[in-house]
Structures are given as C-alpha cells and as structure tokens.
Amino acid sequence: MDSALQFVPIMVVGFAMALGLTPLSRHIAMRLGVVDKPTLARKIHKDHKPLMGGLAIYVAFVASLLVFSPPRHLFELGAICAGAGLLSFVGLLDDRFNLSVRVRLLAMLCAAGIVIAAGIQIRLFNAPLLDVLLTLLWIVGITNAANFLDNMDGLTAGISAIASGFFLLIAFMQGQVLVSLLAAAVFGSAVGFLAYNFNPASTFMGDMGALVLGYVLAILGIKLQFATQPLSVTWMIPLFVLALPIFDINLVVWTRVFEGRSPFEGGKDHTSHRIMALGFSQRWTLAIIYTLCVLFGALGLVISLAPPAQGLVVGGVGALVIVVLYIVMIVIRQRIQKRPAA
C-alpha cells in the first residue's frame, strides 16, 4: 500500500490555492455584482456578501489534481473536472441571474452524463438502464443536497471537508488511489476556502461552489469500492459519510411538501435553522452539525472495517439515530410554528 504522505501535497496545494484565490474571487464578485442580498424570510446574514468563492474552490480543486495525478487516471479525472466545470459555470449564472429550477436540473443531469459516459457509475442491479438511472438520481440528489446545505457560514465547506476527509481515510485503507486523490483535492480546497467562510464569513461560495462540492462528493461515493466486504454492507458507507447533506435535503423537502410549499422555495426550515431556534449561536450550531457529521463519518469508517454481520448492526444503530434526529427536528419545527409572531 502506498504511503499516505503522497496525498499531502495535493491537500497543501488545494489549500494554498483556495486560500490565495478567495480574496481575488471576492473582488471579482463585488465588481460584477454577484452578491447575496439579505432577506428576512431566507437569510441569516444582514449585509451583502460576495458569492464567487466557488471560483477559488474549483480552480484549487482542478489545479491540485492536474499537478499530482498519475497519467492513468487523467481520463476519468478529466471527465470529473469537465462536469464540475459545467456546474461551476451554471452556478455562477444562477448566482448572478437566478436561473430556473429546470435549467439547474438540466445542468446537473448533463454533468452526471459526462462522468457516466466516462464509465463512472453505480453498478448495483447489473441492469444498465437501472444502474444509469440510479447514478443520475444519486449525483443530482447529492449535488442538490450540498447546495441546500449552503445556508449558514461555514456549513457546506466544513461538511465537505469532513466528508472528504473520511472518504480519503477509507479509500486509502482500501488502496484506492483515484478516490484518495479526489478526496484530498476536495479536502484541501474546502479547508482553504473555509478560512474566509467560517463565521463571521467575509465571502460565500454560492451555487458556483456548492454544486461543485456536492458533485464531487457524489462521485467519491460512487467510486469507493471494497475488495473484501459484500455489497449488502458497503452500500451504507457513503450514505453515512454523507448523512448530513442527505438528512437535511430530505428534512427540508418533506417539510415543505407537507406544509403545501414548493420543495425549491427557500426558507428557514433547514437543520441549521432548527438548531439555532433552540437558542444556539451560529458557531455553536456549526459545532453541533460538524460533530454529527464526524459521528456519522465514523460509523461509515467502522462499517468499512467490521465483519459483515457487525457492520449491519452498526448500520442499524446509525439508522435508528437518524430516525430519532428526524423526529427531534420535526418537534422543533412544530414548536417554532406555535410561537407568536414578533
């Protein structure tokens, strides 16, 4: 097995480039008017924030990969970078012009199609059509989940860093170089941007960054493979590593459906908003969510190492925790709605 030190330069370059390019992206965003304006119904921040931090994330991610990646992986990595580039561009247009949901979904499907054409897809049913449809659903779902999650300073960047860190650890232990390269690049670029995005944030990544991070995290989940563990157990591992984004998008979508609103309508009904409603500050809310993300990532790591029977038990316990957390979030929402209007 190769040394873990080989992935350190990728993280360092991704971190340094994101750290150095974010102030430039912030300046460009202010000049072009790509800013997030505060609204009482949807936003927590109270002043205009530049939105092009995703430019720094994308450039840092791609550059760190291209500099250190072995030639044998360039085809797949090229497809991933192309799909991420498409989403970065569409995300920029959305941040500036507020594109329709259909346009954004079409872009996500096209980006997913690029990596599917390169051979990156889920192979669960041994039926090409079903596997392709599941791959499209997974990539579009996780990409949207990361975008939904970008509702608080440091949230999507921090969770992306934690999730990619677990993907890196699990992939390295399985001897998977490509997944380790991707995870290291995401980790470095996300942490470098987080230096400016942690509360109080001086800049936001916007859709330009959130779509890219969600897209690559989805691909990491697809590419993660196990030589000794059966598929009946290993399918749970990426679900637990990405449990927080998956949990949040399901919580928000079903809440809005049951309340008679569009799933794509913004609002303060995310996991982060509900925790803050209990009286926690933004930083304490981040700490709680980061902790949950680490705990679920650790469950994924344990499942990857445990014998199949024990892995199923650990997965069952994790699922029970998620159900309890979901019930808690529903109760909090009900209490919020019962409060008298200010």
Three-state SS string over the chain comes to CCCHHHHHHHHHHHHHHHHHHHHHHHHHHHHHCCEECCCCCCCCCCCCEECCHHHHHHHHHHHHHHHHCCHHHHHHHHHHHHHHHHHHHHHHHHHHHCCCHHHHHHHHHHHHHHHHHCCCCCCCCCCHHHHHHHHHHHHHHHHHHHHHHCCCCCHHHHHHHHHHHHHHHHHHHCCCHHHHHHHHHHHHHHHHHHHHHCCCCCCCCHHHHHHHHHHHHHHHHHHCCCCCCCHHHHCHHHHHHCHHHHHHHHHHHHHHHHCCCCCCCCCCCCHHHHHHCCCCCHHHHHHHHHHHHHHHHHHHHHHHHCCHHHHHHHHHHHHHHHHHHHHHHHHHHHHHHHCCCC
State the pLDDT at residue 46. 53
Asked if pLDDT for residue 304 goes beyond 80, the answer is yes
What is the mean predicted confidence (pLDDT) over 15-28?
97
Confidence of residue 45 (pLDDT cuts 50, 70, 90): very low
pLDDT digits (tens, 9 = 90+) for 205-244: 999 999 999 999 999 999 998 877 888 899 999 999 999 9
Residue 69, domain extent:
4-338
> What pTM does this model have?
0.95
**Domains of the chain: total:** 1
What is the mean predicted confidence (pLDDT) over 116-143?
95
Confidence of residue 159 (pLDDT cuts 50, 70, 90): very high
Asked if pLDDT for residue 29 goes beyond 90, the answer is yes
Asked if pLDDT for residue 291 goes beyond 70, the answer is yes
What is the mean predicted confidence (pLDDT) over 62-86?
93
State the pLDDT at residue 227. 79
What is the mean predicted confidence (pLDDT) over 262-275?
92
Confidence of residue 341 (pLDDT cuts 50, 70, 90): low
State the pLDDT at residue 115. 98
Confidence of residue 101 (pLDDT cuts 50, 70, 90): very high
State the pLDDT at residue 337. 86
Asked if pLDDT for residue 40 goes beyond 80, the answer is no
Asked if pLDDT for residue 127 goes beyond 70, the answer is yes
